[in-house]
Amino acid sequence: MNRKRIYKFSALVLLISLIFFPSSFSRGTILGESEFPAEEEDRFVWETVNATASWYIDVEFVRFTVSRIYNETFNSQNYLFMNYTLEYYHRFIWVPEYVDSFYMAYNKTLNFLNWSEEGYYNGNLFLFPTPVNLTLIGEAVKTAGFLNYTINNTKITLDYGNNTKIELTINSSGISTIIEKITNSTTIYKWELNTEEIIVKVPFGHYFLIALITTIVYIVIIKKKTLKISSNIKEIA
């Protein structure tokens, strides 16, 4: 493989990594008195490590993209607003659930936090203002009317009644490392933060891999034959 091909291959690998790697390292955003552990266009990915519900069994990854972070003023107070795009990698394609939709509003001084509908009613909360305040998170979701919440170290459990709860394990950076929904003591889904390369599967599976290998071998054989014929022609000449 000559240098030009190596450079092209390296550029391709870099492009793929930019597309599929989660943005685990971010400088964060500060607007007024509020901080958020990400910047616009940052992406975070969670991997399904356990699922029992029919639809979630086929979800391999959950991708959270920070669409917009902006400042709004109300009663002379600044609020940090954030919009997000939420997608599920379901049966080999990314399925959008929300696109550039409201995710949260926050004001540190007022101890104010307001979540999206997904956060209130499903408990799927991915990123949080920093420094992390688990009590504020629980009280904010509680306004939607669910029964209770409990805190244990870095984990907050949201109890929605009917034997259903959401367990969120949150690191000091304001990111959920584990999101687990449990109903009747059975895990409906459990997502873990993925900080490594994401390998998205091809729908053809093993057949695609076999076809790819066969094609490469065929190209190599044809090229060798071409070079041999070319060499023989030169010798005759």
Contact 176/126 with Cβ under 8 angstroms?
yes
pLDDT values of the chain reduced to their tens digit, one per residue, 237 residues: 555 554 454 445 444 444 444 444 446 777 666 788 899 999 999 999 999 999 999 999 999 999 999 988 877 888 999 999 999 999 999 999 999 999 999 998 899 999 998 888 899 999 999 999 999 999 999 887 767 899 999 999 999 888 999 999 999 999 999 999 999 999 999 999 998 865 555 444 444 444 445 555 555 555 555 555 555 555 555
The model's pTM: 0.73
Residue 49 is inside which H or E element, if any?
Answer: strand 43-51
Which string of b and e fits 144-167 if b means at least 16 CB within 10 Å?
eebeebeeeeeebbbbbeeeebbb
Q: Residues 6 or more apart from 192 whose CB is under 8 A from it? A: 46, 47, 49, 177, 178
How many whole angstroms separate alpha carbon 71 and alpha carbon 66?
Answer: 15
